[in-house]
Every structure is written in C-alpha cells, then in structure tokens.
Structure 1
C-alpha cells in the first residue's frame, strides 16, 4: 500500500509533466531568467521566526553546508546572505540564518547556474537570503522558558547586535540554553550473555551550551575588502539517576558526562585586480577539545569508558576568478590544510583495565590541492560547468609507527542545465567526491553494554563517492511545479568495523556500496486545484541500496536506508475569514541496520498533523495543533559472536512501541512594535513499549513491557528587535 502511494505520486508527477498546460510560475515570482523569488508571506503557514525556517521550507532546495572539514578545497556551501558566502570557519550556517529575524527578510532568491555572475562552486542552484538595509545600529534578542510536569525545564536566550557604517559592518551574538530533560528508561538490545530484557534506570539529562559569534567586514579601498569571523562554543552534557527512592537492582544504570569546547577564526581577503579579474584568499583556524566519560552498571557488571581528544585544523585557500568574456567564467586556485588529533582513552570491564590498540593515538592529515573550473553560458537557457581538482593526501598515525600513507586523486565534476522554455528545465550532473576523514576512528572505542572493544584504525583512506543525477522540472498553471529526479551514488571505499585475522575489531576501508533514489516533488497552488487560498505539496522518494557485508560477505542493503518515504502537506487560508487550517501526512518505509553482533529490521513510521490558526487582529494570532504518530518498532536477530560467514543466529527479539496523540495550543501578542510575547501549552503523550525474546527455534524465552505517562508542558517566550 505504501509503495503504491509512492508510485502514485510519481505517476501524478509524470502526468503533470506531460499533460497539464503550463504558464510561468508565480508562487516564485519571475523577476529575471533563472531566478525564482519567494516572499516571506509564502512561508507564513509555518510561523517562521528566522531565515533558517525559510531556507528549510524553500521548494526545490536542499541546504548544503559545504565541505568545511576537508581543507576548503572544494565547494563552500550553497547559501548566500545578501549575495555573499558566509565565512567557511565562522559560525555555522545554521547559527547565521537563525540570527536573521523573519521581519528583516525581504525575499529568498533561488538562483540557477548561469543566471548571474556568481561563483556557483559546482552547485546547480544557490539560495540567496536578501535582508533589509539595516539601520546604523540594531539590537535583538529572544528569551524562552519551558516547564514540564516532571520537573524538566528549558531556559534559552539569544542577544545580538549589528553596527553599519560607510564601508564597514560589525555584528555579534551570544546565545545559550540550560535544559534538564527527564529520560525514562527503555529496553537494551539483548545478547546471548544477557538474554533477559534489561531496562535502563530513569535519569536526568542536563545540557548547557553557550555560543558566541562575532564577525565584521571593512572596505579597505574601492577594490579591496576584508572580513573576519570568530566563534567560541561550549557544550556540557551530564546524566544522573533520578532521586525517586530505592533503586531497582534489575535496572541498568547508564551514566555519562560530555564536555566540548571549540574556537574558530577565519579571515577572508578579496581583491579586484581588474574589471573582470578578482582574487580571494581565506585563512581558517579551528581548535576543539572534548572530554567524555560513561559507565554501565548492573548487578553483574561495572564497565566504564573515558576519553579526551584535542583536534586542530589550519587551512588556506586562494582563488583567482576571471569573467572577461560574455557567458564565460574561469577559476583556478590552490588550497592546503593540516588536521591533527591527539586522543587518550581507557576502558574498564568489571573494573579491569582493557589493553586495546589505539587507546592513545596521534594522527596527522595533510591535504594540498590545485583546482580549476570553467563555466559557460552560451545562451541564457544553457549553462555548462566543468571542475577538476588534483589533491594530494598524506596521513601519519601513531597506530602505524614509521609508516606514511600517501595518495593523489583527480576529482572531476560536470554539470549541465538546459531551460527548454519558461516552463521546462532539465539538468544532469556527475561528480567524484572525496569525503571528510573522521580522525576519531583512530582512537579505540568500546560498546559497554556488550563488552566489545574496537581498536583504533591504523591507516584509512577518505571516502570516494561517484555521484550522478538527472532531473526534469516543469512549471504548472498558477505557479505550481513538478520536479522529478533520479540519482545514484557509489562509495568505492566506505569505512566499516571489520574482523581481522588476529581476531581484533578495527575500522578499515571495506567493500563498495551503492545507493539509488527516485524523487518526486509536486506543488499545486490554488490556480491548479481551484480552491482559493489553498496550497498542496506532495513529496515522494523511492530508494534502493546494496553492498557486500564486510563481516558476513553476504550481499545486503546499506544500513539505515529507508525503502521509501512520502509526505503530503495541505494548507488552506479561508478567503474572507481570519482562519487558516491544514493537514500534514508522512510515512517512512522500513530499513535494516547492521551491527557487529546483530541485525535490526526497523519498521516504517507513520505520522499525521492537523492544525488551525486564527488571526483576529494584526497584533494577535493563535492556533491549535493535533499530532499523531506510530513509533517505529523493530525486530532483531542476535549472534553469539561477531557476525562472520555461516553465522547462525542465537536469539531473536521484537520491540513494539505505541503512543497517544498530543494536543498543543499557542497564542502570540505583539505587545508593541517589534516586541512579541508567545505562550504555548501541550498535553504530552502517553506511550508504551514491549519486548519479547525468542530462541533460535522460535520458542518464547522472555517478555516485558513498560508504560510511560504523558508529560504536559507550558512555555513562554519574548523576542524583540530595536
């Protein structure tokens, strides 16, 4: 039935492509060829407060943060703010967009390749957030407090300011939160050594975070400008048992503490050398320290793990861009990056120190690259781009003393976009990507609940992924559109934990994996379906994947890939009234997950939401939302040891989950200009979970269940801009 819905959406999309009359899209207003304009009113149904919400909800666009982890050698993300890319090592794009109030957004521009003289960095589309001309000085802030019936609470705040002048601008923001979340115990996966269901004890999770972001730019001359960005982030998380009376000795006590501090600095220098020639140089520095401790305590076990890591990055990138011919843009440059990690970890099983390779590790990664690109727009309807990068990679690890791993790669990328007419667009792209190498894999790790140690990696190659995509888009009457696409990604050397000949577990590059997707997106505004004020959106995705399991050597799907997903979103602003209502439906298909000692089949997830909003006056609005969802259950097969060829399952288990619906209500009052007060309440959800354990032959061994009460909550928020 669910796959039938996905196929039905694809068929509807094909029918819209082939059979419906079309006119230029007006929901995204056409101002210039290849640029679609979305006004803030387009997103009003989502009650957005910042530009980040607009970016997430822009049709036909997927946010990409860029390859900030690979030495600035490749693309730098696909979002612009007032036509300028954010600093590559400053505040994250999420923080930057989250700091832009909805009241300051003039429009969202979706720019296709070739539509403007912009360095696309290989992206087929860029999104530009255009804001109002800010006043000389501005301050803004938010304060929110939420209280939950079980004594959980969240307090969050943000404050920021901006100063503009003739040829310069500076801004800074500080945001933080303090959350106490009551975590109610759930069932651990069973093992042959512990076949009885184990329930974790209830705990309190305390999370504190504080972030500072500062940036500025100055025009040193009509041809030269410089920008600077600094950030500092502190994150602390700790879990502790609730003081709810005597502790049940059958419960598992799982406790942890995590502390992370990070500082970044980036400097960007831009110089216009001639009318059609410019150069840009970026220097980025990043320092991060993390401390982690965890323990797993039962009647029979006392296991613990602790680690401390320090990571750093130094990166430099310089780019020369030439646009001397109409419709042609050429670019060349070089980049260099040095990344390092120092780590130390200790593992205790029943208070006995484990000897694991890589418990103390240092790893150094150096990347240098030369790159060039050519973008050609012979006619406004056609844009073609070619990109190539020669990158040298060098890795030194203390887990492989005296060895240096080196390789050189050529990374091509090609993109072709053709606008057949005002309504039809086709595109094709192909790229070989090199992914970020997570240096933490060189440090030993431990699964405390199963008493499994994994040694730190000795040598690893970064992931190489060939990605190909083809798509077609058509505008429909009244501003609707249909977008169909197909893509395939083949990862040549994914990193997996494998079993070595000496019996140890270690991360290594392993067997290739392939992912395929068919995607459809349809938007039908009122002019198409004939209901004034209505808007219908439909999305569907059908997936397929395969790889050779690195442990059992059996062909199987890629872990955690949903087989399908579909979404239907209907919104109706009732003409001549103050009412808005809508319905949202979603279903995710099942997926399989593969671990060292078990295989999990995760059920599909269903959810629905209905909402109504009332806007009686300009300064007042309110609404109610009804949410329903069926939680994902799962079934598992469990092996006595690490899965190897011809392994036979020892046990199987099934976990089921159920929950009630939730009702929430909110009201917002603009106390005075640009000062808004919000009050919201929700009922929470009742839920339950059950587990059954079966022997290999199918006989029932154990079963257990737990019920959870609903936790109502109330919150109040204030935001201002002066």
Structure 2
C-alpha cells in the first residue's frame, strides 16, 4: 500500500508541474492580493503589532482569539458550496473537499500571515456572501521557507504508545508563482475505560462489567498548491492525496451480579480510506472591479470497512462494506462590486455517484446513488446610506437523483432558497444584522446504504427514498464593543423545519433514517470577551454560550425535542498573551444530547472538563507549546433506555456506561527554516 501511494503522489506532483508550466509562460506577474479590501465596509485590521498580539502557531490559533468572531465550517458533503466557510485566504475561499477549513487554517504558518481583516456585518467577497461575518487572511512569501510542526502526546493512558504528529510546509516563490507543498503525518490514539451496569424493567441489576476502548488514526496527506497573482488575474491550482487508516477496538468483560465475570464481547473495526483531489480556481478582473470566476474540482474517495463481532457462545458476526464516491464540480460566477446594486450571478453544476457493496448476516447488497445538481443564483446589494445595507440573494436548485438497491427510485427535486439580510453599522462601535432565509440541507449519500454501530448494538437499513430536510429561518445578530474593553456578540434565531430526519420504521419493517414531519427550533448564541489588562497585562476573559430548544410531534411519544439536540453549551477561557510567551486555562461546562430510536432512548452526558496550555518563544524561528487536555480527567455517561417493542410503550430495562479518559499532555514544537 505504501509503495502504491508513493507512486501516485509522485504522479500528482508531475501532473501539477505539467499544468503550471504552460500557464506560467502565458501570464505576466504583478504582486497583488486577489480581492482588494474596499473602504465601503467596516473592517477591523489585525496587522503589525495587533497581529503579533494574537499569539499562536498558525492561522487557526490566531483566528480563534479574535473577539466576536465565530468560525463557521460547512458540513455538507457535496458541491463547492459545501467546502470552506467564513474564512478566506487572500480573498479566495479554499476549494477543498478532502480537508476541513480548520485543517487548512492549521496548516498555514503564522510566519506567512501579514494581516487579518475582520468584517462583522458586511464584506466585499461574493464567494462568502451567505455569511454575515468574514475574516480575510492575507499572506505573503517572498523567499523560500520551510515551516514544520511536531506534536507528541505523553500520557499513561496509552501505556507503551506515544502518539505523534508531524507536518511540514514548503513555500517556494518561483518567478510569478507561489508554490506550497504540505506534508502531514498523524498517528493519533485514544483510549478510555468504562464501567457497565444493566438493569431489568423491575430495576434489578442483571449484568455488570467493564469495557476497554481503543481507537487509532493513521493519516498521511500530501498536497501541492500553486498560486499566481497579477494585476487582473488570480490562478490557484491544487492537488491532494490522502490516506487514512482508522481502527477501533472494544473489549468487554461482563457477567451476573455477585458472580465471576466470565462473558466476553469484542468488536474490531477497520476503515481504510483513499482520497484524491484536483482543483483549479481562476479569477479574472475586468474594468471597474468587475470579476469573473471559474472553479473546477475533481474528487474521488474509496472506503473499505470491515468489522468483526465476537461474543462468548455465539458465532462471529462479520460486516463488510466497500464504497466508492466520485464527484465533479464546476462553478461560474460574475460580480460587479462597484456597480449600483453590486450584482452577483452564477451557477454551480455538480455530478456525484456513490457505489456501495455491503455484506452482512450472510447476504450481499449492492447500492448506487447518483445525482446531477444545477444551482443557479443571483444576488444584489442596495446601499441605503453609509450605515444601512440590504442584501438579497436567490439560490435555486434542480436535482435529478437516482438510487438503486433491490429497486430503482428516481426523484426530481426543485427548490427556491431566498436570503434577505438587512445590516446596520453604527458610528458608536456597534452593528446589527437581521436575516431571513430558506435553507435546504444536502442529502448524505451514506444514509442510502446500510450502516451499523456495534458499540451500542444498533444497525440501520439504508433509505433510498430519503428526501432533504429544509427550514425557514429568521435571525438577528448584534455586535457591540463597549469601553474598548468588552466585546459582546449575541445572535437569536428561530427555524421552522420541514421533512426533518429521524429514525423511523421503513417500508421493509427495519429501522432507518427517514423524513418525519415538521419541527420548530429556537436558539441563541452569546460570545463575550473582556479585557482584564488592568488586572494582569495582556490578559482577557472569554465566555461562549449556546442555547437551543426544539418541538417535534413524535407519533410514538408526543411532543419532544429533535434527535441529537444539545440544549446548553458553555465554555470559559482565561488567557494571557505576552510578546514571548502565552498561557491560558479553559473550562467546558457539562453538556448532554438525546437520541431517539424506535425502541430506545440514548442519552450522552459529559462532565466539566478543564484544559490548560503554555507557549513560549525560544527564538525567532522556534516555539514550544505544552497543552494538557482533560486536566481533571474527562468523564462521560452514556445511558440506553429500552422499551418492549416501541419507544413510549413498556419500559424494558436500562444500560449505563460510565466512561473516563485520563489527562493527555501534548508537547508541540513549531519552527521555521
């Protein structure tokens, strides 16, 4: 496998060079960033000393310290609209499906960043027009540099294992081009120990035991990124190859109360993933700052899943699944930011296909899901005056979906997804935005095929008739800077959801994800940062809190919350950033989430968790960081409540897992050559 991967990566490098060479000869070079920040939007600039005060080893570290900014990453799986989020790099949204936005930002060394521009209620970037808040990261590399990172986790929980992570970025300016090569290797491991207790419907303890859980991720990534700027053009070429080997092992020893624990249960699962990706992003500036953009992406991902369940006195249960997912996407857009209504118009076209072969319980099922999506859009911005702006956008979608297992199901889906945002920027350090929109979630192709969760003894059938869930939302957001020492960001929203996804009984009598009707969701997020510089120089105290509540009419149990809802989430952080060192402590308060299945309610709870870090600059080119996660030991409680045949009927017992993870110490070194 290693030899094959190395050969393919070499081929990618050669192909990228072949792509770069002819284009490099055809373009002239002018050193300029892609989209110039225009003065018509209020912006907070972090550069020079202000940038240095945002202590950190990479772009992600610095962005997470900006008061009032909440990083948003798209979690949808298909299309270019599913990539990236509300952070741009040199005015461009990273076109990647193999890496999340946070992963891309964590690979951008702090030494390459020249400025961070924070827009809180409006911005000039059409590619991120769906977001109120945007950060544009400006970079510059004028010489050949090598940045490297290494992370080692040291803890007795891993026994003889010493997990590690190595990463290096090579930046090579060459004529008019800026080339960057990223190499990343990860051998990360996780281990926990649980106690188990089961009781009958009569509240009598029937079984007790313990469980050891071990998880390992071995990951290798090689990416090549080449960017060329000139006065009227920007071209970004990218190629990536990723290999993940993921392994999970459960070992459970259990038995009757007050007797020897003589029963064993083992579950071993391995998932091997190979992913290849190519993308090209071309931006052309016309007269009066008009812009044409063309983005193309090709992605192929294969996954091989194999698991074996062994239990005393029973025959081994084997589950195998092979999946191959291919995607081709093209996006065309035109913007005229200097025109009266600042029009934006474009279309995204994508083709996706997932093939899966599943072997379980002695049978084999072949599944295929394919779709072609057309997403034209148009948007306008009306500037009423220097303070009021109205942004309107209409996204439309036409999708031809075909899914096949034992039978074939075809769907033609058509949606209108309008967005309206009214924003106000005060001259007194506060701003406000009111947003109304219609949103349609993407379908996850993995829900069309069978799956299992052996850790909690559950399996689900695929539903090839699944329709996307959607909602209408009204949201208001207020950002305020008080006395130059307190920043507050408050957002409240209400969603009217339709065709929500819940586990239901399918037509074949088995359980699976299905469309379950309508629901309402009310939520709010609060973020505040208080400068405590008068108490301790360079220090600040931050508080983040989220609240959400939902109402869904369940035909089995009546009105309840939707599956997976976390009602409360809160964290507190105190940190001090000085020119040569930084340290901090953060506390995450307890959370809980409830999941509803046909004959079971599953509740996941965690406890207060304390994390701490300290970072020190050894020299201009070397930093060291020591972080301790779960300083007080992380504790989790999982409760399964069973019912006789259907949830809401006769109580049939309960199983409780009390899980604990010991503290993990991570030592990191970051350097520049």
- What band does the TM-score fall into relative to the shorter chain? 0.7 to 0.9
CA offset at residue 476 of structure 1?
Answer: 1.0
Contact 1:295 1:448 in 2 (8 A): no
Are 2:398 and 1:384 aligned?
Answer: no
Contact 1:304 1:448 in 2 (8 A): no
1:455 to 453, 458, 461: 461
Aligned to 1:650: 652
CA offset at residue 233 of structure 1?
Answer: 0.5
Are 2:134 and 1:126 aligned?
Answer: yes
RMSD in angstroms over aligned alpha carbons? 3.6
CA offset at residue 310 of structure 1?
Answer: 0.4
SS of alignment partner, residue 111 of structure 2: helix
Contact 1:229 1:266 in 2 (8 A): yes
* Change beyond 3 A, Cα 1:621–1:332: closer
CA offset at residue 467 of structure 1?
Answer: 2.5
CA distance in 2, matches of 1:333, 1:407: 20
Worse-matched range after superposition: 562-571 or 607-616: 607-616
Worse-matched range after superposition: 511-520 or 198-207: 198-207
Contact 2:352 2:370 in 1 (8 A): yes
Contact 1:562 1:590 in 2 (8 A): yes
CA offset at residue 180 of structure 1?
Answer: 5.2
Contact 1:227 1:267 in 2 (8 A): yes
Contact 1:230 1:265 in 2 (8 A): yes
* Change beyond 3 A, Cα 1:323–1:655: closer
SS of alignment partner, residue 336 of structure 2: strand
Are 2:401 and 1:395 aligned?
Answer: yes
Aligned to 1:638: 642
* Change beyond 3 A, Cα 1:42–1:627: farther
Are 2:242 and 1:233 aligned?
Answer: yes
Aligned to 2:596: 594
CA distance in 1, matches of 2:330, 2:47: 37
Matches within 5 A, 1:509-528: 509-526=515-532
SS of alignment partner, residue 53 of structure 1: helix
CA distance in 2, matches of 1:656, 1:453: 23
Q: Which runs of no fewer than 5 residues in structure 2 stay unpaired?
A: 1-38, 254-259
Contact 2:209 2:261 in 1 (8 A): no
CA distance in 2, matches of 1:201, 1:629: 17
Matches within 5 A, 1:584-623: 584-603=586-605, 605-609=607-611
CA offset at residue 143 of structure 1?
Answer: 3.3
CA distance in 1, matches of 2:585, 2:334: 50
* Change beyond 3 A, Cα 1:428–1:339: same
Contact 2:271 2:305 in 1 (8 A): yes
Aligned to 2:327: 313
* Change beyond 3 A, Cα 1:280–1:254: same
* Change beyond 3 A, Cα 1:222–1:585: closer
Aligned to 1:100: 108
Aligned to 2:431: 425
Are 2:209 and 1:258 aligned?
Answer: no
* Change beyond 3 A, Cα 1:651–1:547: same
Are 2:147 and 1:140 aligned?
Answer: yes
CA distance in 2, matches of 1:63, 1:510: 31
CA distance in 2, matches of 1:47, 1:123: 26
CA distance in 1, matches of 2:179, 2:197: 50
Alignment length, in residue pairs? 621
CA deviations 1:253-286 (Å, max 9, x no partner) are 1111110011111112222343343211111111
2:500 to 494, 503, 508: 494
* Change beyond 3 A, Cα 1:721–1:614: closer
SS of alignment partner, residue 459 of structure 1: coil
Aligned to 1:369: 375
Are 2:77 and 1:69 aligned?
Answer: yes
Matches within 5 A, 1:71-470: 71-72=79-80, 77-89=85-97, 91-116=99-124, 119-131=127-139, 133-149=140-156, 150-179=159-188, 181-182=190-191, 184=193, 187=196, 196-197=206-207, 199=209, 202=212, 205-218=215-228, 222-239=231-248, 249-301=262-314, 302-325=316-339, 328-348=341-361, 353-354=362-363, 359-399=365-405, 401-448=407-454, 453-470=459-476
Normalising by structure 1, we get a TM-score of 0.77
CA distance in 2, matches of 1:624, 1:331: 45
CA distance in 2, matches of 1:224, 1:519: 39
CA offset at residue 41 of structure 1?
Answer: 7.0
CA distance in 2, matches of 1:143, 1:582: 21
CA offset at residue 474 of structure 1?
Answer: 1.9
CA distance in 1, matches of 2:312, 2:65: 50
SS of alignment partner, residue 153 of structure 1: coil
1:541 to 541, 546, 560: 546
CA offset at residue 498 of structure 1?
Answer: 1.1
Aligned to 1:693: none
CA deviations 1:195-246 (Å, max 9, x no partner) are 8446466465443110011111235x7534432111110001234689x9xx
Contact 1:113 1:383 in 2 (8 A): no
Contact 2:624 2:668 in 1 (8 A): no
Contact 1:91 1:229 in 2 (8 A): no
Normalising by structure 2, we get a TM-score of 0.82
CA distance in 2, matches of 1:620, 1:438: 41
Aligned to 1:570: 574
CA distance in 2, matches of 1:616, 1:136: 23
CA distance in 2, matches of 1:582, 1:75: 31
Contact 1:201 1:254 in 2 (8 A): no
Contact 1:136 1:165 in 2 (8 A): no
CA offset at residue 188 of structure 1?
Answer: 8.4
CA deviations 1:401-430 (Å, max 9, x no partner) are 354211211110111110132322111112
* Change beyond 3 A, Cα 1:45–1:138: closer
Contact 2:67 2:528 in 1 (8 A): no
CA deviations 1:44-87 (Å, max 9, x no partner) are 89962111122233222222234763423588521111233222
Q: Which runs of no fewer than 5 residues in structure 1 stay unpaired?
A: 1-30, 660-683, 686-711
